[in-house]
Structure 1
Amino acid sequence: MPLLQICRQCRPSVSRFAVYSAPASSRQFSASQALLARRVKKSPGLTKKALAAKANKKKARRNIFESEKMTLAEAVNVLRAVEVGSSNAMYELTVKTAMPRGSAIPKGRITLPREPKAKEKDRILVFAEGRAAEDAKKAGADIVGGAELVDGVVSGRHQATLILCTPALIRSITPRLGRILGPRGLMPSERRGTVTDDVSGFIRRLQGTNEWKGDKAGTIRAPIAKLDFPIEDVVKNVRHFLGVVKRATGNQRDLSAQKNQKKGNAPVNAITRVILSSRQGPGIQVSDI
């Protein structure tokens, strides 16, 4: 009997035994715990202007000597004061070049007036035959042979820090060794002078020299002197190294080279900055270069 048809006096007693049935149209609720879905707002990405400002702020975090230029002698004195507790520290010279389009990565060999560290002996491999092979052996080449050495170079059995070749054999070794030695900077080439008939003379000129080489951005780094060197010796080493780099990058030309080469034949790779630093000291830009 519906609850509404019972009188008010009997309703309390009957309501204890009546079973209430919900209408069929009522909403059924689950007994499980309700989960609240919260929409997480994604933070908007930085605009191009904000990214540029962030990059400029990062670049601005440099040492106090970044915008200050010093003479070479003053830079040496500052670094010596910073490294007062490290007698074995080494001065490092960093030369940054502009690297215009069409310019080659600067590289070369040098003998400093006073070497900062012992010279590492090169292990020389020479592709030559006949009289050139005999002269290479007498000059001090470690491995000498013809095209039969190619398999040993490919497999890694023949290891070398310098590879020379005569013009007669360069075409026979290039197809197999170009992809292997090229990325390592060891492939003989006429531009570097490692493809030559005068192999023995090239080896003799290498004795007592060290190789220097820039990276893809045109930055050259080289240990230039020890901390306990007199200031005069450090200055001589820096001047001598900069002279070699200037000639290799076209900033300074020899008179003999100007006579033999046409003007403007090779692009000039301008030197933009010269920085002297040490192991624990700051990088100081040199003004009198």
Structure 2
Amino acid sequence: MPRRGKKYKEAIAKIDRLKLYELEEAIEIAKNTAYAKFDETVDAAIKLGVDPRHADQMVRGSVTLPHGTGKQVKVLVFAKGDKAKEAQEAGADYVGDSDLVSKIQGGWFDFDKVVATPDMMAEVGKLGKVLGPRGLMPNPKVGTVTNDVKKVVTDLKAGMIQYRVDKAGIVHAPVGKKSFETKKLVENFMVLLESLVKAKPASAKGQYIRSITISTTMGPGVKVDQQKAVALI
């Protein structure tokens, strides 16, 4: 077990570890127990009743948070011709084709999201081994392989996040910053939760939303009453 510092122990002492809090209260507690000097990200960890080992129970997708994430996102787009121009006009930070492939192969990763037009995927596929482990590989299932680069770049800049269930059946996703009003964090979270509910695999049996925990970057987790949260959708 990792050793915890004094500030973390003081923060966790303010939380009833056995209680399931209502969503708004959980977010308030998470904000109030955040102790880092920087504006911590508020994260959600949602345990799903799925077995990710089975392809038909893999949950992944994307959703645009109404109030954004509070983070400035650097978007890279692989495109040519008119689509490249479209990406630039939409505010993409980097736009190119084979030149960017070579640059990334050389170890450059100064970007947060990657978008590609379908005709570029043969080239982008060469980067699978380096982009894949970083969660940056464009994928049509989350909308980052598309000809509508203008919309996707705009959405990413506005706060679109991508999520994917991990091996333990948990989806981890940011819902904003500690400095956000609690109401905005609640609204962001509910958009994420609704997206996850809609993405429920047909093969998933039993209780789907098993547990919800809210935390900040450095702070302890606060358990949410998942049944009451789902009822708010």
Per the TM superposition, whether the score is higher than 0.5 is yes
Q: Which has the higher contact order (CA 8 A, sep 6+)?
A: 2
For the residue of structure 2 that corresponds to 1:216, the secondary structure is coil
For the residue of structure 1 that corresponds to 2:171, the secondary structure is strand
Q: 1:219 to 1:148 in 2, by over 3 A?
A: same
Q: 1:145 to 1:281 in 2, by over 3 A?
A: closer
Give the conservation status (yes or no) of the 8 Å contact 2:48–2:169. yes
Aligned counterparts of 1:89 and 1:189: Cα–Cα separation in 2: 29
Aligned counterparts of 1:146 and 1:85: Cα–Cα separation in 2: 43
Aligned counterparts of 2:194 and 2:48: Cα–Cα separation in 1: 14
Q: How many residues matched?
A: 205
- Any gaps of 5 or more consecutive residues in structure 2? 1-14
For the residue of structure 2 that corresponds to 1:168, the secondary structure is helix
Aligned counterparts of 2:133 and 2:41: Cα–Cα separation in 1: 30
Return the letter of the residue paired with 2:82. Answer: R
Work out which of the two has the higher radius of gyration on C-alpha atoms and give 1 or 2: 1
Partner of residue 212, structure 2: 274
Q: 1:167 to 1:96 in 2, by over 3 A?
A: same
Give the conservation status (yes or no) of the 8 Å contact 1:91–1:227. no
Give the conservation status (yes or no) of the 8 Å contact 1:153–1:159. no
Q: CA deviation at 1:89?
A: 7.9
Q: 1:226 to 1:246 in 2, by over 3 A?
A: same
1:199 corresponds to 2:141: no
Give the conservation status (yes or no) of the 8 Å contact 1:83–1:89. no
Instruction: Report which of the two has the higher share of strand.
Output: 2
1:223-238 equivalences in 2 (<5 Å): 223=175, 226=178, 229=181, 235-238=186-189
Partner of residue 94, structure 1: 45
Q: In percent, how many aligned pairs have the same letter?
A: 24
CA offsets 1:25-75 (integer angstroms, 9 cap, x no match): xxxxxxxxxxxxxxxxxxxxxxxxxxxxxxxxxxxxxx8643x44443565
Q: 1:143 to 1:83 in 2, by over 3 A?
A: closer
1:1-289 equivalences in 2 (<5 Å): 65-66=17-18, 68-72=19-23, 75=26, 79=29, 83=33, 92-100=43-51, 101-102=54-55, 103-113=57-67, 119-157=70-108, 159-174=110-125, 176-213=126-163, 214-221=165-172, 222-223=174-175, 226=178, 229=181, 235-247=186-198, 249-250=199-200, 264=202, 267-268=203-204, 270-276=208-214, 283-286=222-225, 287-289=227-229
